[in-house]
Amino acid sequence: MAEPLKGALILGQSGGPTSVINASAYGIIRAGLEADAITKVYGAHYGILGVLNDDLMIMDEEPAEEIERLPYTPASALGSCRHKIKDPAVDDSDCRKILETFRKYNVRYFVYNGGNDSMDTCNKVSKYMKSVGYDCRIMGVPKTIDNDLFGTDHCPGYGSAAKYIATSVMEVARDTMVYESGVVSVIECMGRHAGWLTAAAALANTEEPCVDLIYLPERDFDMDQFLNDVAKCYEEKGDCIVCVSEGIHYADGRFVSEAETSATDGFGHAQLGGLAAKLADIIHKKLGVKTRAIEFSLLQRCAAHIASRTDIQEAILAGRTAVQAMLAGETDKMVGFVCDRTNGYQCRTELFDLASVANFEKKMPLEWINEAGNGVFYDFVDYARPLIQGETSVDMKAGIPRFARLKRIRAR
């Protein structure tokens, strides 16, 4: 075990928020404040942009009661971004700015909390600091409702989003039963290339029949077969509930969504949406039945009121583990989970090399998807059900949640 470095810690949040991203921040902040070797804990305002622009918040000066509310507060309390830093092997201007900030505040620990692209940022910064001889330990903490990070069994944020989807599908199913006339409800969930989130709709079926058809991007989509599936279900039941991933695509790779545009985020990913409305319209025109389009959109990632307690606790654990690992000498790693479901549910942390995680998407196993490509097997339910267990302890004031309110005191 290496000796701890004496210096400050910077925490950054990146990418799309989750309902438990601040639980990881809490774990990082608390572990940093408790460590003798860490002289100051800073939060980067708007992720890596805060480091590039010397825009840091002093977490040591935040009220303790507001820090304690972080695990139950949705969205990114420090501010997020989707910014791709330049590859230092081609242009090191971004990394030189980051180094200037690190030196100014004597930063010896850097934790970046995000998804695939965030781990790539982490890896670039880590490699650059090593190349210039600046002693700084760097750790990635996973965050994504998409659940598509390589290595780790699952990602903080996924369990709560899965719980929201399963619950909402159950509620939609009950709502469709109140009228005598039938309806086809098309529910769109997030997931560009991986179907983990949409598959969570199957969890609703463990208590009572709810969702009828599930389509994931791991299998090519066929419109004619889709219409046949819906028609058969509607004929047999008198109604039909369909869940689709926003990223379902045809065999030639084209997204089915009509809302795919030239607009992209900072990492070049196409912006998707409008799929449920498109499919509902096609079903109505081709089959002549009443349809309803539902897009969960941001609700699935910010529904802290129904967050999984397991997810919250594991998010805190991931943050704490990152700091403890850096103090012990680890760097250029991502904290992940290794789980055992053979006799109950057991979860432990493990460190994965950032180079093996960055820019690699973990998709749903094809053997968990039925041959018709319109449903998932119980293997998935066995995998996901432990992740949605337990309820949140969000503080309620006057009947609504009281979330953390940080002062965001800037470093100078």
- The pair phi, psi for residue 408, each rounded to 5°, is 55, 55
What's the pLDDT score for residue 399?
97
SS3 343: coil
Whether residues 78 and 133 share a domain: the answer is yes
Within-domain flag for 346: yes
* Closest among 255, 252, 175 to 215, alpha carbons compared: 255
Q: Single out the catalytic residue among 92, 146, 229, 239.
A: 146
Whether residues 128 and 74 share a domain: the answer is yes
CA distance 385 to 147: 14
Whole-model pTM? 0.95
Structural domain harbouring 203: 158-302
Low-confidence ranges of the chain (pLDDT < 50): 260-262, 267
Whether residues 235 and 320 share a domain: the answer is no
Within-domain flag for 353: yes
The CATH number for 286's domain is 3.40.50.460
Whether residues 27 and 129 share a domain: the answer is yes
Last residue of a domain, one of 302, 319, 335: 302
Whether residues 255 and 312 share a domain: the answer is no
Whether residues 52 and 65 share a domain: the answer is yes
Whether residues 138 and 18 share a domain: the answer is yes
SS3 120: helix
CA distance 229 to 256: 17
The CATH number for 30's domain is 3.40.50.450
The number of distinct structural domains making up the chain is: 2
Number of neighbouring beta carbons within 10 Å of residue 103: 11
Whether residues 201 and 166 share a domain: the answer is yes
Within-domain flag for 382: no
DSSP class of residue 108 equals E
Task: Give CA separation, 238 vs 33, 79, 145, 179, in Å.
Answer: 59, 46, 33, 11
Whether residues 179 and 120 share a domain: the answer is no
CA distance 3 to 37: 10
Strand positions, DSSP E, 152-229: 184-189, 213-215
Within-domain flag for 379: no
Task: Give CA separation, 43 vs 15, 271, 306, 316, in Å.
Answer: 15, 28, 27, 16
Last residue of a domain, one of 302, 320, 346: 302
Would you state the structure tokens that stand for residue 31, as one six-digit string? 């572990």
Within-domain flag for 383: no
CA distance 262 to 249: 17
SS3 356: helix
Whether residues 287 and 188 share a domain: the answer is yes
Contact, 246 vs 186, CB < 8 A?
Answer: no
146 is catalytic: yes
Whether residues 265 and 275 share a domain: the answer is yes
Within-domain flag for 376: no
How many Å separate Cα 78 from the centre of its chain? Answer: 16
Whether residues 33 and 80 share a domain: the answer is yes
Last residue of a domain, one of 270, 285, 302: 302
Within-domain flag for 153: no
Within-domain flag for 242: yes
Number of neighbouring beta carbons within 10 Å of residue 381: 17
